[in-house]
């Protein structure tokens, strides 16, 4: 998505520790008009797949998922992150690893909101090593839902998480795929 690549180049900042900061439009301040363009693009990609539920994970996935869901005319479910082990029996739970915070956390969804009748599109802002996305994929499996695919705004392709999931047969569509990134050479897209 050319307009997204342009926006990343114009407004994104490369921070320490291989961080791409896009918090001016995507995950702290949110440019809602631009999110509409992103939602439309996801609809172009997955609009004919019979999606009836969008699954994301708190917090920064929620805005993107909600705007995208308007095009699909379906509800959003956001998975919750938790460090507690005090999980009740009415939720599906799996684990993910946060490379940012260097710890495992539980990812949960109420059984009530994900089940065999759901054709699920996963939406998230970033895909790097893929731990959060794998957790969401696992939740759809446990719930017996049909996974249509995953729509990602920015994939750090050089970290391999996206291709690992594609190899497992999961359709992963990323609107911007970063081939390499460094303060010295800037950002290159695939």
Q: Which chain residues interact with its own copies by CB under 8 A?
A: 23-25, 28-33, 35-36, 58-60, 62-63, 65-67, 69-70, 73-78, 80, 109-110, 112-113
User: Cβ 73 to its own copies, closest distance in Å?
Assistant: 7
* SS3 of residue 155 by DSSP: strand
- Indicate the residue among 69 and 152 with the shorter CB distance to its own copies: 69
165 neighbors 150 (Cβ within 8 angstroms): yes
**Quick one: DSSP state of residue 154?**
E
- Indicate the residue among 23 and 146 with the shorter CB distance to its own copies: 23
* SS3 of residue 137 by DSSP: helix
Geometric angle at alpha carbon 103, from 161 and 150, rounded to 5°: 30
User: Cβ 168 to its own copies, closest distance in Å?
Assistant: 27
- Indicate the residue among 108 and 174 with the shorter CB distance to its own copies: 108
Q: How many whole angstroms separate alpha carbon 106 and alpha carbon 36?
A: 30
- Indicate the residue among 77 and 172 with the shorter CB distance to its own copies: 77
């Amino acid at each position: 998505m050319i307009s997204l690549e342009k926006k990343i180049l114009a407004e994104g900042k490369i921070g320490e520790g291989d961080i791409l900061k896009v918090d001016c439009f995507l995950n702290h301040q949110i440019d809602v008009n631009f999110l509409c363009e992103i939602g439309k693009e996801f609809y172009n990609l997955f609009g004919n797949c019979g999606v009836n539920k969008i699954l994301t994970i708190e917090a920064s996935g929620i805005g993107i998922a909600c705007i995208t869901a308007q095009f699909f005319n379906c509800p959003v479910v956001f998975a919750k992150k938790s460090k507690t082990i005090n999980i009740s029996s009415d939720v599906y739970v799996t684990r993910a690893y946060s490379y940012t915070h260097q710890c495992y956390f539980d990812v949960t969804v109420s059984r009530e909101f994900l089940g065999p009748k759901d054709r699920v599109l996963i939406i998230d802002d970033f895909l790097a090593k893929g731990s959060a996305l794998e957790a969401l994929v696992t939740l759809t499996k446990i719930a017996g839902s049909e996974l249509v695919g995953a729509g990602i705004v920015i994939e750090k392709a050089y970290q391999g998480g996206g291709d690992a999931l594609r190899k497992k047969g999961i359709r992963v569509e990323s609107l911007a795929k970063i081939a390499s990134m460094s303060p010295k050479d800037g950002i290159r897209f695939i």
